[in-house]
Structure 1
Amino acid sequence: MNQIARIQSRALPPGFSAARLAALMRRAVSATELNLSGMTVLTEAASGAYGVTPVIAALAGAEQVYAFCRASRYGSVDEVTEWTLQLARAVDVAERITIIEEIPSGVLGRVDIVTNSGHLRPLTAALIESLPATAVIALMFEAWELRASDIDLEACKRRGIPVVGVNEQHETIDVFSYLGPLSVRQLHDCGLAVYRNKIAVACDNGFAAPIARGLGGLGAETTVFADITNIPAGDWDAVVIALQPGREPRIGRTEAMHLADVLPPEAVIVQFWGDMDQDATRECGLTTWPARPPAAGHMAVLLSEIGPEPIVRLQTGGLRAAESVRRGCPASSESFAQLVQLS
């Protein structure tokens, strides 16, 4: 193991070791029956648990995987490259993964699946116009969570390129079940015990049940409200915000004023998902967490905060959904795939 690999390994806890990630990837590919034989995949090379995506594709039989890499606050190009190859060597697929910093001319014309991954975003009209007519874009999360800024949907519509979400609640993926533990982790980081806390969950989407189940399982008194303005006055310890992002912040001045009226001064507004107007919450005297808000439309806490399992499952599921559409299988409520409506 070279110096870069030793640095990467020291930075990660034992649950993120290459050996453990290799075992998790093998299990996920087997459970979902992911089969990318003969396909070319364009995805990203990334750090930590997110480094698994190109390796999963190759492990599932992809003929060629191009992993696009950029330096970021999570690691340099050299560090990410070595980490990706370390994972690839752990499952004997390194020869089918090519790390790239630019997309070579001609590659896009051979791609079967492109993932909507961080380093590749946004997927521009120029990129989409260069794809084969048979290509598929893997959204890598559920269709309803799509951010319009990620993908040029008009270009997809012109070309007839499907954008495929993944059914995260499919029994072999089951990512939603990790949302409860993830919310617990965020509350613990905030300094709340969860046990015996009184928590309002503001949620208007499918995250509500797993979050409430996770918090309740640790002994919190939890109530779900689809509308912030329905939260009544009470001795709340926290309000967990898990609202689907929109064009405007989900917690604007009206919502902030209501929360200021019904919450005790020690309560914390915990932003799990759904944008907040920080000026409005500050002017209303509300305490918010995390201290550094996420980018618009993004979750404030990453699934990888509780371990690599949900990431391995999600990335495998995203590829499996795209594979099924690429092979002509219909999408349904029981299948892996969810099609984004482009009309």
Structure 2
Amino acid sequence: MKLAVAETGLDMSGMTVLTEAATGAYAVTPVLAAMAGAKRVHAFTRPGRHGTVLDAKRETMELAALLGVADRIEILDSISPEMLHNVDIVTNSGHLRPLTAELIDQLRDDAVIALMFEAWEFRGEDLDIEACARRGIPVVGVNERHPAVDVFSFLGPLAVKQLHDCGLAVLGNKIGLLCDNDFLAPLHTGLTSLGAKVKTFDSVAAVHPDAWDAFVVALQPATTPRVGQAEATHLAACARAGAVVVQFWGDIDRTALARNGFAVWPTSPVKQGHMGILLSDIGPEPIVRLQTGGLRAAEWVRRGGAVTPDGFAQLVPWPAAT
């Protein structure tokens, strides 16, 4: 965490931040803000599948105490309008989502929302982008490929972990990589570097018959599943018995795939629009880098910094006025 703050140059001095208090690797977010000099960090939490309110408070404050910043972090289970009036940066974090028009309307005119991932990955259900446009509040993505953040380099190891967890060696496996977005290069590199025989396709329709061991799905989510009944039937016609469909990103129809004889990994359903594996599943470092980068991008915009292709910050486009 100290290294990430130093490498990104994160400086939140004088700022008030509203973020979440969470468990595991995600406990780092409010602590990073405080480490970077934020004068006050409000960390909202609620019960979830990863822990209770007490769990989140304990893990966050133990980490904060270890780093000597506990006095500037406040754990909350409710958010008042008065607090929102004083916030500089709000993070698009799990416990806070969705960021509603009601919340956004209480923010200061110069407040900034930190998306906490790249702008092109924006999900409309996370926050009310129309309310942000009406208020003139920037929604700031983070350049995950910036050298001081470099989260994209962890995507290959994440896919490898999924394949290992479902019982494939990767080495020598024939893998169809279904990807139509910027995840393609790091996923391809990660799989081929461990000896997989990888063929890439930008759609299910482009897949051809072969002795596939697995299909890794990394297709940008849409309004309907990227692998539905028709796609599952096509894949089944192209693959040998026993092939696995690995959901990295992009919604899939699990029933249709099972009906066509596929095993699906992970075995539990994935929330719509979300990845099938957490960055923290290979350790805390990707999360530390991502959260620090997300805060740095928002801090940069909040201080009036210019958004450039090689910088930390990206902007989510506001919808056109009607």
Q: Does 1:170 align with 2:146?
A: yes
In the alignment, what sits opposite 1:90? 66
Once the 2 structures are TM-superposed, how far is the Cα of residue 279 of structure 1 from its aligned partner? 2.6
Once the 2 structures are TM-superposed, how far is the Cα of residue 107 of structure 1 from its aligned partner? 0.2
Report Cα offsets for 1:113-135 as digits up to 9, x if no partner.
Answer: 00000000000000000000000
76, 83, 93: which one aligns with 1:100: 76
Report Cα offsets for 1:57-86 as digits up to 9, x if no partner.
Answer: 000000100000111121111121111011
Once the 2 structures are TM-superposed, how far is the Cα of residue 285 of structure 1 from its aligned partner? 2.3
Q: Secondary structure at the match of 1:42?
A: strand
Map 1:324-335 → 2, pairs under 5 A: 324-335=300-311
Once the 2 structures are TM-superposed, how far is the Cα of residue 227 of structure 1 from its aligned partner? 1.3
In the alignment, what sits opposite 1:292? 268
Paired with 1:271 and 1:148, the residues of 2 have a C-alpha distance of 21
Report Cα offsets for 1:227-270 as digits up to 9, x if no partner.
Answer: 11111100111000000101111001221111010000111010
205, 214, 218: which one aligns with 2:190: 214
- 1:155 maps to amino acid: A
Identity %: 59
In the alignment, what sits opposite 2:286? 310
Once the 2 structures are TM-superposed, how far is the Cα of residue 282 of structure 1 from its aligned partner? 2.4
Paired with 2:246 and 2:79, the residues of 1 have a C-alpha distance of 39
Q: Does 1:126 align with 2:99?
A: no
Paired with 1:319 and 1:131, the residues of 2 have a C-alpha distance of 17
Q: Secondary structure at the match of 2:85?
A: helix
In the alignment, what sits opposite 1:270? 246
User: TM-score scaled to structure 1, two decimals?
Assistant: 0.92
- 2:14 maps to amino acid: G
Aligned residues: 319
9, 25, 31: which one aligns with 2:7: 31
37, 48, 62: which one aligns with 2:38: 62
In the alignment, what sits opposite 1:8? none
In the alignment, what sits opposite 1:158? 134
Q: Does 1:135 align with 2:111?
A: yes
Gaps of 5+ in 1: 1-24
CA contact (8 A) 2:156 2:191 kept: yes
Once the 2 structures are TM-superposed, how far is the Cα of residue 104 of structure 1 from its aligned partner? 2.7
CA contact (8 A) 2:219 2:226 kept: yes
Once the 2 structures are TM-superposed, how far is the Cα of residue 284 of structure 1 from its aligned partner? 2.1
CA contact (8 A) 2:81 2:106 kept: no
116, 123, 141: which one aligns with 1:147: 123
Paired with 1:282 and 1:190, the residues of 2 have a C-alpha distance of 15
- 2:255 maps to amino acid: D
Once the 2 structures are TM-superposed, how far is the Cα of residue 177 of structure 1 from its aligned partner? 0.2
Paired with 1:212 and 1:90, the residues of 2 have a C-alpha distance of 39
Paired with 1:292 and 1:324, the residues of 2 have a C-alpha distance of 38
Q: Secondary structure at the match of 2:264?
A: strand
Paired with 1:187 and 1:158, the residues of 2 have a C-alpha distance of 44
- 1:262 maps to amino acid: C
Once the 2 structures are TM-superposed, how far is the Cα of residue 28 of structure 1 from its aligned partner? 0.3
Q: Does 1:282 align with 2:258?
A: yes
Paired with 1:158 and 1:139, the residues of 2 have a C-alpha distance of 18
In the alignment, what sits opposite 1:250? 226
Paired with 2:231 and 2:160, the residues of 1 have a C-alpha distance of 24
Paired with 1:154 and 1:230, the residues of 2 have a C-alpha distance of 36
- 2:237 maps to amino acid: D
Q: Does 1:182 align with 2:158?
A: yes
Report Cα offsets for 1:1-28 as digits up to 9, x if no partner.
Answer: xxxxxxxxxxxxxxxxxxxxxxxx1000
Q: Does 1:71 align with 2:62?
A: no
Gaps of 5+ in 2: none
- 1:282 maps to amino acid: A
Paired with 2:85 and 2:189, the residues of 1 have a C-alpha distance of 46
44, 54, 72: which one aligns with 2:20: 44
Deviates more, 1:44-53 or 1:283-292: 283-292
